[in-house]
């Protein structure tokens, strides 16, 4: 009788439907969570052990695991979360695993060669040599740093190395993270903040899964409150870890600065701008538990926390928490799920919470903490609607006379204006006057956007770009292309021509490339070095600009034309955030909204600054239609190069959709964006009652179809994009 062997299920970070079985080699003694190298075809791949059981491999002998990697194992909770996320999103578990391993697969920080003193004495001690030896008694320095510190030439240091007085060692940057200093007092909180902080501390003290909604107008000081809760969580448990999720990198920098100031140590930073070796260091320190505070973008949710006790989702309503490509997920919803798995407290913070979150607060599933007073003495701005039908801007311009007059007054008082337009580039559409052709990216039904800074036409959907041609590519007419409509670059041009003496800057993802540039621009604005800032949504939140007293919204109707479920909600949120920027501290602020629809309920609610009225009206409409938060949605997008094949497949898919009570399947229909990169697209929309397990329904449906290899099928639970 042979020795009883074990089978290891190994999940690979690839789009495969399930984990693969391997034999456990004798003596290896694997454990769940171990990172291993396992053969797949001719290659060895990194994978994670997700199951171990006794037994042999059936008829065929199983291939053995090659070896255990010298890497930290994934904690059980992280593995459970990865598998939960895959089930929820109806996708391959290897995809969220790949996100969880992103830091482990990054290169390790390179060792540094430092020089340190040996016991040997130099044959001859010159003053220069004495200075080098003194400098070398402190921290470990490289030979070049040592020479600089001692003020000597490289030759002096080399001489000491050759004599054996100094020796060269290789050291790796310390993997441990500086401990947060919990003895530092926090800022003084006002009564409303203190009450909210006390309630959050109570949630944390219950030491289980709890969700709180921190709901307060812009400028009410939510950050101070959740940092107080973070301090409480860290102090209550000496190994506790805190994760702060933010929707954008531009915002991350401001919050990292505040965390560092509050705790006397920089937090772990996690987003796409972090260099791979630094990412590796954060990943390892989070797994080891030494990095106790992480500030990051949505993928930070997949880090291997050793003991996660508090998750904060700041700006929880923000659409950028939704990941739309690759593994599709909503980071706010997954944060709540991770909190449940970790038995941690979750804090959702916003000035304009999503309807989903408000509904959970109304029904008591989430603790609702409202911050009423504005921090300090600032007052809410006054909001006025500019009716563009009555006071339109001169033709081919975008700033109306009332807005220009308000900008002039603001400039004369030495105060700042923020012009807000949620549209990148110079013009959203380029049209040929001769033949009427609208320029699109090749094989795509999305308009090309003109960018004057780069002199190119860009497709924001596919990334395609080309230099602006002097002839129409369609009819060949010369100089016939005209730019239609405004983007931020065009509004900037207009502001410069009206106020040539003003200092004007643009803040959009085309002009601000990285976190450092974003920080520089935000600082210049805070220092009063900019008079007029023209911005897309990137600047609409999170920053304190003490001299900003006027916000002009160039096209308040823009979001309302989206035609999707959340169009009104998103417009309200965006405009409330943008207008909330005006007049903090002790200066009264003013916001002007240019609109063709001043009677629209969203505009009326904004003018009255009556969020509750807006929410009540919107909730009623959603309830009547059974839409979120009263029902649930999922989308299916099928795409393929051949229109007829795609139509056949989607018809067949409709035929085999499972019948289930409380589920309606709409479609298939051609997607509004019917052609992208040469692929036709068709969509289904599925609506379900709240009690339905929509993920299970979609998985059952998915299992009934076998798409031809040319057709890609993607499922989007709780879709935010309806294109
Ligand atoms: Zn033409």
Query: What confidence tens digit (pLDDT) does each residue in 645-661 have?
Result: 999 999 999 999 999 99
549-567 pLDDT, tens digit per residue, is 898 989 888 766 655 678 7
491-513 pLDDT, tens digit per residue, is 999 999 999 999 999 988 777 66
Supply 702's token pair.
């998915």
Question: From CA 653, how far away is CA 647, in angstroms rounded?
Answer: 10
Average pLDDT over residues 672-677: 85
Preceding amide of 629 cis, omega within 30: yes
**Alpha-carbon distances of 291 from 98, 230, 639, rounded to whole Å:** 21, 14, 43
197-206 pLDDT, tens digit per residue, is 999 999 999 9
Q: How far is the CA of 481 from the centre of ligand 1 (A)?
A: 8
Q: How far is the CA of 483 from the centre of ligand 1 (A)?
A: 13
**Alpha-carbon distances of 645 from 642, 648, 679, rounded to whole Å:** 5, 5, 12
Is residue 651 left, alpha or beta, with left meaning phi > 0 and alpha meaning psi from -120 to 50?
A: alpha
Q: How far is the CA of 443 from the centre of ligand 1 (A)?
A: 18
Q: How far is the CA of 435 from the centre of ligand 1 (A)?
A: 4
Pairing of β 590-595 and β 548-553: parallel
Average pLDDT over residues 452-469: 86
Average pLDDT over residues 60-82: 94
Q: Rounded to an integer, what is the distance from CA 553 to the centroid of its chain?
A: 24
Which run of H or E residues covers position 157? Answer: helix 154-162
Supply 43's token pair.
């290659």
Helical packing angle, 127-135 and 154-162, nearest 10°: 80
390-405 pLDDT, tens digit per residue, is 999 998 899 999 999 9
Q: How far is the CA of 494 from the centre of ligand 1 (A)?
A: 27
Q: How far is the CA of 484 from the centre of ligand 1 (A)?
A: 15
Which pLDDT belongs to residue 348? 98
Q: How far is the CA of 555 from the centre of ligand 1 (A)?
A: 29
Q: How far is the CA of 471 from the centre of ligand 1 (A)?
A: 8
Provide the whole-model pTM: 0.82
179-214 pLDDT, tens digit per residue, is 999 998 889 999 999 999 999 999 999 989 999 999
Q: How far is the CA of 642 from the centre of ligand 1 (A)?
A: 28
Q: How far is the CA of 570 from the centre of ligand 1 (A)?
A: 36
What percent of the chain is predicted at pLDDT more than 90? 55
Which pLDDT belongs to residue 590? 87
**Is the pLDDT at 378 greater than 60, yes or no?**
no
Question: From CA 520, how far away is CA 545, in angstroms rounded?
Answer: 14
Q: How far is the CA of 397 from the centre of ligand 1 (A)?
A: 24
Q: How far is the CA of 470 from the centre of ligand 1 (A)?
A: 11
Q: How far is the CA of 299 from the centre of ligand 1 (A)?
A: 45
> Mean of the per-residue pLDDT values for the chain?
89
Give 163's contacts (C-beta < 8 A, 6+ positions apart).
120, 122, 123
CA dihedral (327, 331, 336, 342) in degrees, to 10, reads: 70
Q: Which residue, among 3, 5, 11, has the nearest Cα to 23 in the 3D structure?
A: 5
Q: How far is the CA of 442 from the centre of ligand 1 (A)?
A: 16
Q: How far is the CA of 439 from the centre of ligand 1 (A)?
A: 9
CA dihedral (595, 600, 606, 612) in degrees, to 10, reads: -170
């Amino acid at each position: 009788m042979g020795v009883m062997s074990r089978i290891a299920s190994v999940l690979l970070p690839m789009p495969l439907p399930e984990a693969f079985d391997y034999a456990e080699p004798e003596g290896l003694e694997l454990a769940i969570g171990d990172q291993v190298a396992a053969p797949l075809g001719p290659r060895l791949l990194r994978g994670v052990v997700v199951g171990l059981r006794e037994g042999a491999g059936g008829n065929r002998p199983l291939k053995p695991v090659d070896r255990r990697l010298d890497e930290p194992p994934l904690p059980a909770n992280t593995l459970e979360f990865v598998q939960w996320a895959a089930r929820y999103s109806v996708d391959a578990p290897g995809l969220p695993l790949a996100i969880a391993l992103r830091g482990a697969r990054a290169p390790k920080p390179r060792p540094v060669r430092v020089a340190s003193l040996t016991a040997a004495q130099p044959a001859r001690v010159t003053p220069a040599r004495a200075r080098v030896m003194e400098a070398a008694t402190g921290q470990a320095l490289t030979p070049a740093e040592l020479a600089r510190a001692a003020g000597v030439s490289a030759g002096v240091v080399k001489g000491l190395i050759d004599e054996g007085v100094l020796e060269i060692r290789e050291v790796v940057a310390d993997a441990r993270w500086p401990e947060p200093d919990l003895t530092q007092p926090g800022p003084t909180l006002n009564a409303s903040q203190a009450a909210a902080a006390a309630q959050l501390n109570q949630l944390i003290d219950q030491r289980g899964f709890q969700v709180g909604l921190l709901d307060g107008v812009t400028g009410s000081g939510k950050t101070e409150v959740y940092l107080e809760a973070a301090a409480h969580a860290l102090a209550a448990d000496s190994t506790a870890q805190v994760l702060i999720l933010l929707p954008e990198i531009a915002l991350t920098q401001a919050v990292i600065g505040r965390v560092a100031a509050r705790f006397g140590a920089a937090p772990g930073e996690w987003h796409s701008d972090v260099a791979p070796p630094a990412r590796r260091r954060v990943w390892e320190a989070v797994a080891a538990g030494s990095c106790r505070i992480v500030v990051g973008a949505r993928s930070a949710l997949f880090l291997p926390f050793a003991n996660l006790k508090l998750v904060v989702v700041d700006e929880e309503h923000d659409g950028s928490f939704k990941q739309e490509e690759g593994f599709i997920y909503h980071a706010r919803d997954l944060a709540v799920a991770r909190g449940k798995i970790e038995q941690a407290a979750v804090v959702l913070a916003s000035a304009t919470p999503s309807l989903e979150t408000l509904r959970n607060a109304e029904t008591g599933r989430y603790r609702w903490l409202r911050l009423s007073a504005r921090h300090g003495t600032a007052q809410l701005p006054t909001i006025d609607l500019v009716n563009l039908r009555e006071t339109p801007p001169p033709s081919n311009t975008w700033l109306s006379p009332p807005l220009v007059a308000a900008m002039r007054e603001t400039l004369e008082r030495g105060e700042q204006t923020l012009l807000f337009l949620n549209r990148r580039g110079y013009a959203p559409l380029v049209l040929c006057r001769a033949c009427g052709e609208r320029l699109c990216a090749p094989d795509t039904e999305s308009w090309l956007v003109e960018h004057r800074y780069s002199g190119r036409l860009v497709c924001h959907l596919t990334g395609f770009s080309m230099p602006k041609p002097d002839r129409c590519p369609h009819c060949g007419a010369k100089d016939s292309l005209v730019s239609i409509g405004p983007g931020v670059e065009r509004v900037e041009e207009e502001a410069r021509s009206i106020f040539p003496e003003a200092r004007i800057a643009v803040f959009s993802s085309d002009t601000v490339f990285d976190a450092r540039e974003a920080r520089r621009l935000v600082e210049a604005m805070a220092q009063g070095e900019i008079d007029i800032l023209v911005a897309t949504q990137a600047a609409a939140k999170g920053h304190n600009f003490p001299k900003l007293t006027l916000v002009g919204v160039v096209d308040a109707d823009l979001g309302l034309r989206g035609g999707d479920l959340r169009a009104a909600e998103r417009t309200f949120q965006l405009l409330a955030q943008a207008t909330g920027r005006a007049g903090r501290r002790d200066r009264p602020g003013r916001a002007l909204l240019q609109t063709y629809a001043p009677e629209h309920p969203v505009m009326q609610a904004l003018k009255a600054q009556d969020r509750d009225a807006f929410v009540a009206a919107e909730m009623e409409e959603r309830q009547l239609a059974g839409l979120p938060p009263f029902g649930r949605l999922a989308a299916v997008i099928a795409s393929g190069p051949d229109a007829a094949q795609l139509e056949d497949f989607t018809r067949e898919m409709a035929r085999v959709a499972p019948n289930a009570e409380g589920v309606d399947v709409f479609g298939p229909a051609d997607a509004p964006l019917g052609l992208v990169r040469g692929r036709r697209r068709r969509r289904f929309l599925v609506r379900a009652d709240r009690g339905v397990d929509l993920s299970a329904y979609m998985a059952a449906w998915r299992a009934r179809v076998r798409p031809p290899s040319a057709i890609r099928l993607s499922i989007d639970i709780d879709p935010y994009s309806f294109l």
